[in-house]
């Protein structure tokens, strides 16, 4: 994968927030299986799929991660609550720098119950 694309998708500053939040995947006690993969490469591949709209099965080989591995990790990370924790970590970091303006907020209409009639 091109270094430029990797750095744009997951810059070092973002990776420093992500890395400690990733759950570990212990090796299987019975041995065998595939070799461990680079977590940053997997995370970058997942970010690519999520931001580009690319289907998992069309993940470019240049990421060095199989589509199955990327999807498995995405599913496991979702189950473990990684995205919620990462969102919080990014907000905390931006807040600590004074780069979050909490004076306004946007409410997604799809998540707010509509009032019915005159009630």
Question: How many structural domains does the chain have?
Answer: 1
Give the predicted TM-score (pTM) of the model. 0.77
Asked whether residue 116 is domain-assigned, the answer is: no
Per-residue pLDDT reduced to its tens digit, 51-89: 999 999 999 999 999 999 999 999 999 999 999 999 999
Asked whether residue 117 is domain-assigned, the answer is: no
Rounded CA separation 57/92 (Å)? 34
Asked whether residue 89 is domain-assigned, the answer is: yes
Asked whether residue 119 is domain-assigned, the answer is: no
Asked whether residue 82 is domain-assigned, the answer is: yes
Asked whether residue 48 is domain-assigned, the answer is: yes
In the prediction, which pLDDT does 113 show? 66
Does position 104 have pLDDT exceeding 80, yes or no?
no
DSSP annotation of 80 reads T
Range of the domain at 13: 3-27+36-111
């Amino acid at each position: 994968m091109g270094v430029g694309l990797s750095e744009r998708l997951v810059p070092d500053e973002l990776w420093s927030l992500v890395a400690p939040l990733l759950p570990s995947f212990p090796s299987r006690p019975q041995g065998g299986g595939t070799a461990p993969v680079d977590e940053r490469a997997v995370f970058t591949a997942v970010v690519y799929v999520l931001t580009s709209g690319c289907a998992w099965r069309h993940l470019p080989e240049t990421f060095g991660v199989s589509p199955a591995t990327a999807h498995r990790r995405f599913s496991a990370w979702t189950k473990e609550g990684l995205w919620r924790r990462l969102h919080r970590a990014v907000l905390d970091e931006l807040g600590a720098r004074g780069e979050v303006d909490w004076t306004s907020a946007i409410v997604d209409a799809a998540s707010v119950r509509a009032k019915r009639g005159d009630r």
